[in-house]
Amino acid sequence: MSRKFNGGTDVIAIGSGGLLNTVQPMTVALWMASTGGWGGAITPFVCKLSGWGGAIGSWLFAWSAGNTLWFSKDGGAGADLKKATSSIAALTSGSFNHLALTWNSAINTTAGVAMYFNGVEQPYINGSTGITVVSDSSWSLNIGNNHHSNLAFSGYLAHVHVFRRVLSVNEIRALMYHPGMYNSGSVSAIGTAGLIGYWPLGGLKSPEPDLSGNQFSGVVTGAVFNVNEPPVNEVFVVSAPQMGYAS
């Protein structure tokens, strides 16, 4: 199961506050299948972004023109941290693919950013210089669109995760087929450290539930239920809230 986003006003708004506000390292991981008709030259899968210009502290993990994966983090004073992969033709294939972003905020240059397609880190075509890392507390965490609904995703999204740490490539690959966090004894256990939110996007409940235990449920606009689903195995639910992560 998944949720279908219409490339217009559909969005799941998670909000801000508490563990959602961070300048710490992070990982975003999700399953995606596009249906074309992207809402702009940059179309976010997950973001903390109102709109372009003056969005100090905002960030986005997105599709960009030329079928690239794109990460941008605003550092204020006209300084943005940006990085894009080489073109990935399968991004618009209509089939489900697993995408992941990791950002080590302690490294305030593009060297701290990595993006993965089906568990494989991609080559990159460009990137910007370093920035001062600024809090994103002014912005709501959104899935499938930005706050003004003018950078809209068109297609299916499922199993969106946000962590407050950088997952290893082996953890990302494990998470691909076993979404949600799981404890020792199941596959190669990632544990629960650093999980901020897990939204399965099963489409059967509104608000969209957060299965991390942190209760960051999402307000759903559009983004209707769909039977299309990625090739995952069982889903594991966290049994207790995760109260942050310290390395």
Q: What are phi and psi of 15, to 5 degrees?
A: 105, -165
Q: Which residues of the chain have pLDDT under 70?
A: 37-40, 50-54, 75-78, 128-130, 149, 181-192, 234-247
H helix and E strand count, the chain = 1, 16
Res 31: pLDDT: 97
| Separation between Cα atoms, residue 145 and residue 8, nearest integer Å | 8
Helix (H, G, I), strand (E, B) or coil at 171: helix
Task: Report the predicted TM-score, pTM, of the whole model to 2 decimal places.
Answer: 0.87
Closest CA relative to residue 141, chosen from 36, 1, 20: 20
The gap from C-alpha 30 to its chain's centroid, in whole angstroms, comes to 6
For residue 119, the number of C-alpha atoms closer than 13 Å in the C-beta half-sphere is 9
Model pLDDT, residue 2: 94
**Can you read off the two tokens belonging to residue 185?**
């004894």
Give the model's pLDDT for residue 78: 63
| pLDDT on residue 237 | 47
Distance in angstroms (rounded) separating the CA atoms of residues 155 and 63: 12
